[in-house]
Amino acid sequence: MPKPSKGLTISMVVLVLGVAYVIYIIQGGGEGDGPQLMEATGPAVIELGQRVYADSCAACHGANLEGQPGFDWREKNPDGTFPAPPHDETGHTWHHADTLLFNYTANGGQVFLGDVGKSGMPAFADVLTFQEIEAVLVYIKSTWPEPIRERQRLVTEAAREQ
Ligand code: HEC
């Protein structure tokens, strides 16, 4: 095989760096400290999200996003964890920006609580794909009434500008 010319090698390096940069931007690199949710929409995304929710979240957060059945999510369990909060509009999920919701789901709660408390929220980064985590959040958001969605959108935008 002939040795590739210097020009060709340089353009290959530029290409590889370019592709890496595009992936970095798509995943939200450079904005805030985590991936931004892409605004994936449509019935297929919501359907996938609903399936992921039923399989991975409903056991704790309730089949209808109502929170851990039989518990008040504001009151600590005897082991120091909190019951899983509701993801419907009565909870506080919509107070958080997309980035935080994504990172909380991907990395689990302990990273966020630190020494302040014991988290009962597992990390899903090794269990679910980026698209599955995004879809489950899109699904959760799709259940909120429009005024709540609008407020959460503003929180997300404010976080982006930081
Ligand atoms: C084993 C129980 C359990 C499972 C399964 C679980 N969670 Fe949680 N989750 C919790 C608990 C408990 C909290 C409360 C905060 C903490 O302990 O860190 C929480 C908090 C959260 C929060 C941050 C608080 C809020 O309301 O915004 C998000 C977001 C979240 N969970 C999303 C999910 C998603 C999405 C799934 C499914 C992929 C899921 N959780 C599965 C127990 C669970």
Q: Which residues, given as ranges, of the chain have pLDDT below 50? A: 22, 24-32
Is there a single domain that holds both residue 23 and residue 100? no
Q: What is the pLDDT of residue 161?
A: 81
Is there a single domain that holds both residue 59 and residue 77? yes
Is there a single domain that holds both residue 122 and residue 82? yes
With the most atoms of ligand 1 within 8 angstroms of its CB, the residue from 121, 137, 141 to mutate is 121
Is there an atom of ligand 1 within 6 Å of 32 CB? no
pLDDT tens, position by position, 57-98: 999 999 999 999 889 999 999 999 999 999 999 999 999 999
Q: What is the pLDDT of residue 27?
A: 47
Q: What is the pLDDT of residue 116?
A: 86
Is there a single domain that holds both residue 11 and residue 85? no
Is there an atom of ligand 1 within 6 Å of 85 CB? yes
Q: How many structural domains does the chain have? A: 2
Q: Which atom of ligand 1 is nearest to the CA of 87?
A: 26
Q: What is the pLDDT of residue 14?
A: 62
- How many other CB atoms are there within 10 angstroms of residue 99's CB atom? 20
In 3D, which of 9, 42, 148 has the Cα closest to residue 89? Answer: 148
Is there a single domain that holds both residue 14 and residue 43? no
Is there a single domain that holds both residue 26 and residue 102? no
Is there a single domain that holds both residue 15 and residue 83? no
Is there a single domain that holds both residue 44 and residue 22? no
Is there an atom of ligand 1 within 6 Å of 62 CB? no
Is there a single domain that holds both residue 59 and residue 12? no
Q: What is the pLDDT of residue 38?
A: 63
Give the CB-side neighbour count of residue 15, counting CA atoms within 13 A: 6
Is there a single domain that holds both residue 124 and residue 52? yes
With the most atoms of ligand 1 within 8 angstroms of its CB, the residue from 61, 74, 87 to mutate is 61
Is there a single domain that holds both residue 94 and residue 115? yes
Domain carrying residue 152: 37-161
Give the chain's radius of gyration (CA, Å): 20
Is there a single domain that holds both residue 91 and residue 149? yes
